[in-house]
A and B are shown apart, each in its own frame.
Chain A
Amino acid sequence: MPVATFHIKRFDPDNDDMPRYDEFSVPYEASLTVLDGLFYVQEHFDGSLSFRYCCRAAVCGSCAMYINGRYRLACQTNVRHLDGDVITVEAMPHMPLVKDLVCDMTDFFAKYEYIEPWLMRNSQDPAKEIGQTPEERKKLDMPIDCILCGACYSTCPSVWGEGNYIGPAALLKAYRFEVDSRDEARKQRLAHFDNEHGAYRCHTITNCVEACPKELNPTEGIQWLKRAAVRRRLFGRLK
């Protein structure tokens, strides 16, 4: 059975002065994912290794990590698909660290909540469901796949520089509701992204597009929000 060397960045802010890399040898078969490898390390070598996971099917966004120099979901990264047998696993960079591979996502979710990521309506709901044409639904295809893993937020230079920038994930979610034909938030959500802590802090660096494990395009969504703000404020168009 081939053996992969897991090179894992460890840091416990309570006990360590500096981060370090620990090495573990993990035997693998065809289907071993990086997340499986981390479980193996935890069970056989070091029970104190900390990491987040939940669904193991690339839909919950808990296990986003920096694996071999790229943002990946540990659960959908097959060890065999990585180049070579040495696998470097680090927590997402530029984020406050809780321990080992666990980032502090408090700010990320506070900003996410700030843009009010839910459907807002003023008019009376119809008796049955709120209808949508296939074309209207198609607009949601891209942004609706966001799993809030935080890779885009961690890789965005505008977030590194300006801690109050709400970041690509929250803005992509704002876009997701703004293009939704059922949403009627109008001015309420506009106030959250139409400012310099919002969409205008994005300088289209597109790191987020490169980092996204779901291959989404937050930059495109943010550019749409800027154009929408101009359309609404200058021409009074609401959608």
Chain B
Amino acid sequence: MRTDVLDQSRGGMWAWLLQRITAVLLIVGFASHLISTHIMAIGELSYDNIAHRLASGFFVAMDVMLLAAVLYHALNGARMVILDYWLSAKAQRRALSLALWLVGVAAFIYGLWALWPWIKG
């Protein structure tokens, strides 16, 4: 076995740490999302009622944070699964990370666009 391929592998700490941090954000974020949507009565789940809730800066910030956390957690999770079975070489791993970052940033911008009327205030 050639161990020099192992020498080319650097990093991974940030991905590991951010996966844990986003996991905590998701637990807290989803819990408050579900509680505020289904338990704290805002009446019927209609566009008007949700739009009214999103008028609060807190809920907009919460939604943007959840969007970023979900995207990072899901795409990094997918990356870990792919790397578990495939793509061991450095260049391939980099290409995969780049592709997933592009997908993530595009999805984040799309999410911001959907929330834009409330972000703008």
Contact = CB atoms under 8 A, between A and B. Distances in A.
Given A110-B1, A114-B3, A196 B9 contact: yes
A196 B17 contact: no
Contact of B1 (A107, A161, A203, A226): A107
Contacts of A111: 1, 3, 6
Interface stretch (B34-42, B54-62, B79-87): B79-87
Contacts of A194: 12-13
A196 B3 CA distance: 14
B110 interface: no
A111 B2 CA distance: 9
B120 interface: no
Interface in A99-150: 106-107, 110-111, 113-114
A200 B13 contact: yes
A158 B13 contact: no
B32 interface: no
Interface size class of B (residues with CB under 8 A): 10 to 19
Nearest to B13: A229
A201 interface: yes
A115 B13 CA distance: 18
B79 to A, nearest CB: 10
B5 interface: yes
Interface string B1-44: 10101100111110111000000000000000000000000000
A162 B84 contact: yes
Given A107-B1, A230-B17, A162 B9 contact: no
B53 interface: no
B88 interface: yes
Interface of A: 106-107, 110-111, 113-114, 158, 161-164, 166, 191-192, 194-198, 200-201, 203, 226, 229-230, 233
5 contacts: A106-B1, A111-B6, A162-B88, A197-B88, A226-B16
Interface of B: 1, 3, 5-6, 9-13, 15-17, 80, 83-85, 88, 93
